[in-house]
Amino acid sequence: MTNVYHYRRRSYLERYEQGHYEEVWLELTALGPTVRQEPIYSEAVAVARETMRRVRHNLELLVERLPTLNYRFATTPPLEYAHEQKSTYLQRIEQQYNPLPLSIRQFYEVFDEVTLLGDHPVLNRYDMDDTLDQEELSDELSVLFTDPLCLFSLAPLEGTVEGIDDESMRQLGQFATIDLTPDLTFFTSAQTQMNKLIIPNSSMDVHATTGTWAGMLFISYLRLSFKWGGFAGFSYQPEAAKVAKAELDFLTKDLLPI
């Protein structure tokens, strides 16, 4: 008698929850725009929502812990949650620019803006009182700028872009950009530089196009940031990371993998 084995493919969400975080995101991103087709689309949305649940958990822990280290936030509150009409608001943006990547869409279903920028002797230097001139500021930040996690509101995308109405923009085939996080030169140079994401993009995730993190996927950037307690810049400043080891160990304890 022949035994027949019925194989059921594990869903992307099941695999994600079992710890295959990077593989699942890379596979879904590799699908490009076809990730929008069922039955994959529902699975992809479920993965993105679970990821952002974890992102929220991590950010709330960091925002709770940083003040206990006497970290001074440049902006308060550092977490601005999405308002009740977020779905309508995001739909309007997508009507104007076409689809947002699923990673970005689900992030802004939870948050309006996140700004961990602030000042601390070993975590990040920042001119809180706006007392330094450009040269002094450049010297100060060159000592310790660790790329605090900042994700700015999509509100500026509503309406027009650089004075061009949305119909003209569509005809010209123009794209909009989302400011992911300030680059060091944002603070130290007249030629400010941001790490930017370009939309529209129908994929699961999107690469940064400029700045320090150019070429890195949005979720990969978040993953790196959480690895360093919200300060991804420690990844390329090993000596500064050694000095801040105790603080980083405290900040990263019990953060959820994404």
- Confidence at 160, pLDDT banded by 50, 70, 90: very low
Q: Where are the beta strands (DSSP E) in 154-217?
A: 176-182, 194-199
Q: Determine the Cα–Cα distance for residues 58 and 123; give it in Å rounded to an integer.
A: 17
Q: Please provide the average confidence, as pLDDT, over all residues in the chain.
A: 81
Q: Which amino acid is at 129?
A: D
């999509």: which residue's tokens?
A: 154
What pTM, to 2 d.p., does this model score? 0.82
- Confidence at 17, pLDDT banded by 50, 70, 90: very high
Instruction: Measure Cα distances from 130 to 67, 72, 125, 126, 179 in Å.
Output: 21, 14, 12, 9, 22
| Residue 134 reports pLDDT greater than 70 | no
Q: Determine the Cα–Cα distance for residues 66 and 103; give it in Å rounded to an integer.
A: 26
pLDDT in tens, 50-107: 999 999 999 999 999 999 999 999 999 999 999 877 778 788 888 877 788 999 999 9
| Residue 130 reports pLDDT greater than 80 | no
